[in-house]
């Protein structure tokens, strides 16, 4: 912000927000949560979709010891959402469930395929898994450990993405999809979709809607699908994800009490860090106008107090400063301590850049095991 940054930071005032649980006037956890949740939901402009799970099951098969179901469901708007459910083959009874939330990665052409594979992988996804996930589709690996895992295409990704033909030619430059699975077409689409984000964000604001609110709505519908399954125990459900998936974890786990265990990877800092240092590394998908007056960013995830929460960071993550990540961890530590649940929160730091590598996955899976099994 140049000469305006320090003024904006002072206006924001780094002391606790109006509805922070760190404020001395908040003694009762339930009374605080009621107020803070109401304000957060209001500012996120969460929509009542009046939607009930109506799921179509396409192909069903086995892959690498897993039972696989390819699913679709239709929301009140847009194309059908595509999803994959996986669990160990031959296992009977109710399993703990995980909603896997895929990342952004500058790649809107793909959604669920970023974190799960149940057959041949696209070359772009082989590269993606190597870069961010030590070569793994982490949702696939977690299912092998005894979970029912659902992964769906998030708002504006994969099956939910905007196609060139959906918008006027003046916005697309009259582009057309010709060979959509080719590397060249995927790169061209992702470059266009990146530039389309500000148009989407401004348009949503004109409708009185926020991008995180849209994320939350669609992820909550996917959670409805997961919890409605007869082979999943709705009282033992968690969620997690890296980067954009970490952002989605913050909102879904913070606001929906059905999420018993949350694992947020590579998306934890403070509003002040974003304001002064790192807003250029983030998309419009992060912003909830006016919410920083009431809650700091980690306190959105803290709305889930005292339920178990794991945050995984990397020290050289280019999306945040190390101080910002540590400040966020200190905030969450303090409110979990005030809620008399210090053992329900953990924050770990790893060396390396923005990723959810094998060592981090091992800790995440153990955290799910600890609280859901």
Domain boundaries, the chain: 55-372
Q: How far apart are the first and last CA of the chain?
A: 48
Q: Which residues of 264-280 are buried (b: 16+ CB within 10 A; e: fewer)?
A: bbbbbbbbbbbbbebee
Instruction: Give the 3-state secondary structure of residue 38.
Output: helix
Residues 163 and 108 sit within 8 Å (Cβ to Cβ): no
Q: How many CA atoms lie within 13 A of 169 on its CB side?
A: 3
Global pTM reads 0.97
Q: How far is CA 70 from the centre of its chain?
A: 21
Token pair recorded at residue 189: 């689409």
At which residue do the structure tokens 């194309």 appear? 79
148-152 and 81-88 strand pairing: antiparallel
User: Which segments of the chain does DSSP mark as H helices, in order?
Assistant: 5-12, 29-44, 123-133, 138-143, 169-172, 183-206, 211-228, 244-255, 271-273, 297-301, 322-338, 358-372
Q: How many CA atoms lie within 13 A of 263 on its CB side?
A: 30
Find residue 150's DSSP bridge partners: 85, 99
Predicted pLDDT of residue 50: 86
- Helix 211-228, helix 183-206: angle, nearest 10: 110
Topology of domain 55-372 in CATH is Rossmann fold (3.40.50)
The sheet that has 81-88: what strands, in order across it? Answer: 55-63, 66-73, 81-88, 148-152, 95-100, 232-242, 261-265, 309-314, 345-350
CB atoms within 10 A of CB 189: 21
CA distance 147 to 133: 19
pLDDT 10s per residue in the chain (373 long)? 999 998 998 887 668 999 999 999 999 999 999 999 999 999 999 988 888 889 999 999 999 999 999 999 999 999 999 999 999 999 999 999 999 999 999 999 999 999 999 999 999 999 999 999 999 999 999 999 999 999 999 999 999 999 999 999 999 999 888 888 999 999 999 999 999 999 999 999 999 999 999 999 999 999 999 999 999 999 999 999 999 999 999 999 999 999 999 999 999 999 999 999 999 999 989 999 999 999 999 999 999 999 999 999 999 999 999 999 999 999 999 999 999 999 999 999 999 999 999 999 999 999 999 999 9
Predicted pLDDT of residue 179: 83
Residue 180 neighbours by CB under 8 Å, 6+ apart:
109, 186, 189
CA distance 302 to 295: 10
Instruction: Give the 3-state secondary structure of residue 350.
Output: strand
């Amino acid at each position: 912000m140049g000469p305006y940054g320090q003024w904006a930071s002072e206006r924001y005032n780094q002391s606790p927000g109006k509805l922070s649980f760190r404020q001395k006037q908040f003694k009762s956890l339930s009374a605080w949560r009621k107020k803070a949740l109401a304000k957060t939901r209001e500012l996120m402009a969460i929509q009542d979709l009046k939607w009930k799970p109506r799921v179509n099951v396409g192909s069903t098969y086995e892959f690498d010891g897993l039972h696989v179901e390819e699913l679709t469901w239709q929301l009140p708007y847009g194309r059908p959402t595509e999803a994959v459910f996986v669990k160990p083959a031959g296992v009977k009874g109710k399993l703990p469930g995980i909603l896997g939330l895929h990342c952004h990665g500058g790649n809107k052409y793909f959604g669920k395929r970023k974190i799960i594979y149940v057959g041949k992988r696209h070359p772009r996804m082989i590269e993606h898994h190597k870069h961010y996930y030590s070569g793994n589709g982490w949702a696939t690996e977690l299912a092998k450990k005894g979970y029912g895992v659902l992964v769906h295409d998030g708002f504006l990704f994969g099956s939910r993405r905007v196609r060139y033909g959906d918008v006027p030619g003046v916005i697309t430059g009259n582009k057309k999809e010709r060979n959509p699975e080719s590397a060249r077409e995927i790169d061209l689409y992702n470059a266009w979709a990146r530039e389309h984000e500000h148009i989407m964000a401004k348009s949503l604001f004109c409708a009185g809607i926020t991008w995180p609110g849209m994320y939350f709505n669609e992820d909550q519908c996917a959670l409805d699908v997961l919890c409605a399954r007869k082979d999943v125990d709705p009282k033992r459900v968690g969620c997690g994800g890296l980067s954009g998936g970490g952002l989605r974890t913050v909102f879904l786990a913070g606001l929906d009490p059905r999420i018993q265990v949350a694992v947020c990877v590579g998306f934890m800092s403070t509003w002040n860090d974003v304001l002064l240092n790192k807003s250029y590394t983030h998309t419009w998908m992060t912003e909830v106008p006016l919410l920083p007056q009431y809650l700091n960013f980690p306190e959105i995830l803290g709305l889930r107090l005292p339920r178990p929460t794991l945050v995984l960071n990397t020290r050289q993550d280019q999306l945040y400063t190390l101080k910002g990540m540590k400040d966020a961890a200190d905030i969450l530590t303090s409110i979990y301590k005030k809620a008399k649940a210090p053992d329900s929160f953990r924050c770990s730091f790893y060396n390396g850049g923005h990723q959810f590598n094998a060592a981090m996955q091992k800790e995440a899976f153990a955290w799910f095991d600890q609280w859901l099994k």
